[in-house]
Amino acid sequence: MEPLAIVSFLAAVLAATWRLATPFIFTSLGEVFSERAGVLNIGLEGVMLIGAFTAFAITFFTGSPVLGLAAAITSGLACGLLFAFLTVSLSANQIVVGAALNLVGLGLTSFLYRSIFSGRMETAREYVSFSPLEIPFLSSIRFFGDILFKQNLMVYATPIVVLLGSFILYRTAFGLSVRSTGEHPRTVDSAGLRVSMIRYASVLIGCGLAAVGGAYLTVAHTNQFNEGITSGRGFIALAVVVIGRWSPWGAFAVSLLFGFFYALQLRLQAVSGITIPYQFFQAMPYLLTLVVFVAMRRRAAPPGALGVPYKS
């Protein structure tokens, strides 16, 4: 490839990196709160699917992606309330409940999509969504303009949400309670705080943000809903949390890394002259997830009470 073509290729990959990392950022940030409070939710895939379908359906019928996003958050909170009730109040196994949530999310959204949109498949592909917002002057800067200043509102919101999440987790009394609950819940209980309420709040935050991550796929990225549209992103978000060391900014950085993997494989499929089967490129983000996860496994120390039910 010529130098100009290489620069153009790199710019296209980096421009797509932030967009493709956005669902990971929202979902992994939410899971950071949940796991920091000691609750492991492997049902992120199901919550993302429910959020994606809810946002798509409400946006389709109302014409407002804002209402669709609000509905998705509501659906995520409902999932979080159910998950917290089963795992925190009833002390059910968190892994089993999370796996069940994934199955429910996949089955329920597929059933509803076929039932509601079976005769509207074509019209369902054309509806109002969050469109790219070009920032005047800055968007015209060579190379960096396409990468940083031609994104949609949900993409622009990611660093703000991460900054807010980091502030709450490390600079507020609630954040201190969350972190303490994930490490020593009995100490928190002894201090007069309700461990169950802190875990409920953390799970609700986690599922709400996971639903936003799913909603992004339908109202700001693909502008349509397909069965299983999340394609394993919820599971990768779990790995992002571990590799990012249960830190909001760590999750943000690792999400960008996986966004880069996704963008790279998409662009490589479009490069002419490459004879490698496209299935290899599609599998590349998941293979790289395993490689990075194995490489970082000894550097990560999970919260001490992660996955352990607490009874006062």
What's residue 271's pLDDT?
67
Q: Which amino acid is at 275?
A: T
Q: Tens of pLDDT along 116-159?
A: 887 766 555 566 788 888 888 888 787 788 788 889 999 999 99
pTM: 0.93
Q: Is 85 a residue whose pLDDT tops 90?
A: yes
The domains found in the chain, sorted by start residue, are 3-129+142-299 (1.10.3470.10)
Question: Band of the pLDDT at 12, cuts 50, 70, 90?
Answer: confident
Write out pLDDT tens, residues 168-216: 999 999 999 999 999 999 999 999 999 999 999 999 999 999 999 999 9
Give the per-residue SS3 of the chain.
Answer: CCHHHHHHHHHHHHHHHHHHHHHHHHHHHHHHHHHHCCCCCCCHHHHHHHHHHHHHHHHHHHCCHHHHHHHHHHHHHHHHHHHHHHHHHCCCCHHHHHHHHHHHHHHHHHHHHHHHHCCCCCHHHCCCCCCCEECCCHHHCCCHHHHHCEECHHHHHHHHHHHHHHHHHHHCHHHHHHHHHHHCHHHHHHCCCCHHHHHHHHHHHHHHHHHHHHHHHHHHHCCCCCCCCCCCHHHHHHHHHHHCCCCHHHHHHHHHHHHHHHHHHHHHHHCCCCCCCHHHHHHHHHHHHHHHHHHHHHHCCCCCCCCCCCCC
250 phi and psi, to 5 degrees? -65, -45
